[in-house]
Amino acid sequence: MARRGKDAGGNRRNFLKGAASGAAVLLANPATAPAQDVEAERRAAPSPSAQQAARETAPPPPRADVYITDRPGADFMVDVLKSLNFDYICANPGSSFRGLQESFINYGGNKQPEWLTCCHEESSVAMAHGYFKVEGKPLLVLAHGTVGLQHASMAIYNAYADRVPVYIILGNEQDANFRRADVEWKHSVQDAAAMVRDYTKWDDSPTSLTHFAESAVKAYKIAMTPPMEPVLIVANGSLQEEPMSDEDKRSLRPPKLTLASPPEGDSGAVAAAARMLAQAENPVIVAGRVARSQKGIQLLVELAETLGAPVLDRRFRMNFPTTHTLCNSGNLREADVVLGLEVEDLWFFTHDQTPINRMGMSNRSILKPGATVITISSEDLFSHSNYQDFGRYSETDLSLAADSEATLPALIDACRKIISTDRRRAIEERCKRLEARYQQNRDRDFDAAAAGWDASPVSTARLSAELWNHIRHEDWSLVSNTTFVSNWPNRLWDLDKHYHYLGGQGAYGIGYGAPAAVGAALANKKYGRLSVNIQCDGDLNYSPSVLWTAAHHNIPLLTVMHNNRAYHQEMMYLQDMASRAGRRPDRAQIGTAITNPNIDYAVMAKAYGIYSAGPIDNPNDLGPAIQAAIEVVKRGEPALIDVVTQPR
Amino acid sequence: MIGRIAFLCVAAVIAVTAQQNVAPAAGDAASGKVLFTKIGCYECHGYAGQGGAAGARIVPMPLNEQGMIRYVRRPSGEMPAYTGKSASDRELADIYAYLKSFPPAKKAKDIPLLDGIKNRH
């Protein structure tokens, strides 16, 4: 069967366009064609000639086969997407977006964005997730609207729960007449985005290039307005592959993008919050996803110092310098005013619940009676129902539906204006007490790190300390979550830049770590930063192929395995469950241990083309191995060290 | 009231310390080492009992043998409660002996690398 030709496509579009414009004229000017006028014109018109009559009534000539076009619709789609200034595309190739891929690499020159080869759609999205948290810009992800999106879905949920914008284009063939074979039916879907609509912010399935252009730009704007979330646009297959009409060639252009300014808190509410905070005896700030940038960190420091308020960092982002004496030196139980900034789990943080070793469930607030709770959060501006990432309802005394980083300057200003000299003295005294507590915490953490220092397997504290010893004089970026290594980097290292720590998965979906680290390292690459990934073994086994992506695209990244040879959290849960049931806990490794055989991650890395060392189980061997691997990374390559570690 | 509680705590610590000094562990440390892994103590407390985010540091063990067994049977925190069916007194005594067999733990100031990091040298 011949392809539909340029004329056919053009005529179809022109017919529809003409019909639509005719209807529009009639609607716009309903009184312009009264019936009597039409009849008069018909009478006055000359009769058609014999030649004209023959042309009108003869059968149409056979349609000429058209094999090529110099301007498929995908070219214009590329124009639109280039206007959004994406740096990279992450994609596993798929036939439903073959037109777009060809246009990106040829028409678009494979520059800005550059195409990155990913081996799994979950990696594509997680790379974009990690990239954004360093660079503050979304990456473009392309995937099949069916099987590719199914692969990507967990990573999209992670990004959604972590309030990270990922910009996703889905290939799909909406028009059944254009589906060429069984595979294209299996890869087509009526409503592609439906599957992930519960955990994305917006989507559209454009039916024309004009529609695509407007929706593509609108999607970017929506994704980048707090709370930031993933968005999807479906790129219809025939719209990608069929020629642009002459009219479209002449008239279409990418619409202008203007990002919305982040929503700032109402001035009256800001003033009220400032009064409560300024009068507090023991204010405490709880930081969720506050800082998007270095500016956000600086603003939070300013607020904390203005109030003399300790900052309890939920470690969802790099919010507050670990070197600051107000960092985690507070106690919620002592607070009379609590300020929660972008914390969706504030209830969990302010309540005790029945521990897992007891039956039933009860809970109580740990706050003092009468303590005032203030929240500033863009979480209040957007919600879905189905997935429960929004957390438990938290009672508050003042709630500002606003972006915290955007609101902090006004709040700081309002506080400064009303803090009297006497209050200032009290705040200085409080800061001295908090500094002493900060030092006590630091002493405690370092003595805890000394425990098991010489143990084999290697303690996670020793691993973290050895790593820090080798990177602390570099411009470094920790691109992995620290939850599974007892947060040792946050406790031992000096973190003060926004790229020093990126938080975690968002939805605790495992398989995020390795690809997000590669994505973050990609963002760090142009700044020459040393990216460091403490990589959980269970996580790596979801998408190990991202190591190949790192090698193929020369993404420098030091990966140090936290190889505890288990899905350890679940092993502990099994032990809990066995104990609750009054049974022996010595079978908890069934279904949770990753042993017999042990996985050789150094060999795995080599198979993907990456420098590697290990397995290392003697802690004294770790320092030299790190040093050697850093030299490789500084040459612009990824490297991996397999370290056999303690559980946490 | 606070003073009375503090006194009791101090007295208890003295009693525990005295008992630790006087009564050597009755259990079998080698057996305890195997059990420590087999029944999963290491999962939260680490192979060296060093503790972490999931479990308390238990080396050096601050309780005497009976105190530890009592705590294991009725823990006060998030630790699972081990009944006699989950771990016998004999097994817990062996684990206790294993925990007591560790050499004295180093302090951060005794480890040059850690001390250097702490003092930002």
pLDDT at A17 exceeding the cut of 50: no
- Bridge partners (DSSP) of residue A563 are A644
Long-range contacts of B86-93 (CB under 8 A, 24+ apart): B86/A578, B86/A579, B86/A582, B86/A583, B86/A584, B86/A585, B86/B39, B87/A584, B87/B35, B87/B39, B90/B27, B91/B31, B91/B32, B91/B35, B91/B39, B92/B27, B92/B65, B92/B68, B93/B25, B93/B26, B93/B27, B93/B32, B93/B65, B93/B69
pLDDT at B9 exceeding the cut of 80: no
Residue B15: per-residue pLDDT: 39
Cβ–Cβ below 8 Å for A585 and B39: yes
As a whole-number percent, the residues of chain A with pLDDT over 90 amount to: 88
Q: Which residue of A has its CA nearest to B53?
A: A486
Q: By mean pLDDT, which of A19-23, A575-579, B32-36 is the weakest?
A: A19-23
pLDDT at A215 exceeding the cut of 70: yes
For chain A, give the mean pLDDT.
Answer: 92
DSSP class of residue A486 equals: T
pLDDT digits (tens, 9 = 90+) for A440-457: 999 999 999 999 999 999
Residue A181: per-residue pLDDT: 87
| Closest C-alpha to A320, from A339, A299, A337 | A299
CB environment B8-45: b (16+ within 10 A), e (fewer): eeeeeeeebeeebeeeebebbbebbbebbebbbbbbbb
Cβ–Cβ below 8 Å for B43 and A568: yes
A444/B contact by beta carbon, under 8 A: no
Concatenating the DSSP letter of every residue in B40-53 gives: THHHHH-TTS--BT
Residue A62: per-residue pLDDT: 58
pLDDT at B20 exceeding the cut of 50: no
Chain B residues with beta carbon closer than 8 angstroms to that of A315: none
CB–CB of A116/A89 below 8 Å?
yes
> What's the average model confidence in pLDDT over A366-381?
97
Distance from CA of B38 to the nearest CA of A (A): 5
Q: Which two tokens stand for residue A91?
A: 């994609």
> What's the average model confidence in pLDDT over A152-172?
98
Residue B121: per-residue pLDDT: 83
Residue B6: per-residue pLDDT: 37
Cβ–Cβ below 8 Å for A442 and B118: yes
> What's the average model confidence in pLDDT over A288-316?
97
Distance from CA of A263 to the nearest CA of B (A): 37
The three-class DSSP label of residue A645 is strand
pLDDT digits (tens, 9 = 90+) for A54-87: 666 776 665 567 889 989 999 999 999 999 999 9
Architecture field, domain B2-120:
Orthogonal Bundle (1.10)
Res. A48 pLDDT band, cuts 50 70 90: low
pLDDT at A622 exceeding the cut of 80: yes
Residue A213: per-residue pLDDT: 98
The three-class DSSP label of residue A312 is strand
The CA distance from A144 to A153, in Å, is 12
Chain B residues with beta carbon closer than 8 angstroms to that of A534: none
Strands A363-365 and A351-353: antiparallel
ipTM comes to 0.82
Tokens 């809970």 -> residue = A363
As a whole-number percent, the residues of chain A with pLDDT over 70 amount to: 91
| Closest C-alpha to A122, from A484, A524, A546 | A546
| Closest C-alpha to A71, from A234, A216, A250, A233 | A250
Tokens 């246009």 -> residue = A103
A441/B contact by beta carbon, under 8 A: no
Distance from CA of A585 to the nearest CA of B (A): 5
Res. A6 pLDDT band, cuts 50 70 90: very low
Angle CA A641–B118–A313, to nearest 5: 80
The CA distance from B43 to A586, in Å, is 11
Cβ–Cβ below 8 Å for A492 and B117: yes
Cβ–Cβ below 8 Å for B79 and A357: yes
pLDDT digits (tens, 9 = 90+) for A325-361: 999 999 999 999 999 999 988 999 999 999 988 899 9
Residue A105: per-residue pLDDT: 98
Res. A140 pLDDT band, cuts 50 70 90: very high
The three-class DSSP label of residue A583 is coil
- pTM for this model (two decimals): 0.89
The CA distance from A294 to A335, in Å, is 27
Residue A49: per-residue pLDDT: 73
Residue A209: per-residue pLDDT: 98
Residue A357: per-residue pLDDT: 86
The CA distance from A638 to A519, in Å, is 12
pLDDT digits (tens, 9 = 90+) for A516-526: 999 999 999 99
**Sequence-ordered strand ranges (E) for A79-213:** 88-91, 114-117, 140-144, 167-172, 202-204
The CA distance from A487 to A253, in Å, is 49
**Minimum-distance CB partner of B78 among A356, A443, A453:** A356
The CA distance from A322 to A496, in Å, is 7
pLDDT at A2 exceeding the cut of 50: no
Res. A410 pLDDT band, cuts 50 70 90: very high
pLDDT at A419 exceeding the cut of 70: yes
Residue A61: per-residue pLDDT: 60
Distance from CA of B18 to the nearest CA of A (A): 24
CB–CB of A551/A162 below 8 Å?
no
pLDDT digits (tens, 9 = 90+) for A544-555: 999 999 999 999
pLDDT at A505 exceeding the cut of 60: yes
What is the amino acid identity at position A550? A
Distance from CA of B7 to the nearest CA of A (A): 23
Chain B residues with beta carbon closer than 8 angstroms to that of A443: 108
A98/B contact by beta carbon, under 8 A: no
Residue B119: per-residue pLDDT: 93
Backbone angles phi, psi at A190, to 5 degrees: -70, -45
Residue A25: per-residue pLDDT: 37
The CA distance from A494 to A515, in Å, is 25
The CA distance from A352 to A359, in Å, is 15
pLDDT digits (tens, 9 = 90+) for A100-123: 999 999 999 999 999 999 999 999
pLDDT at A635 exceeding the cut of 50: yes
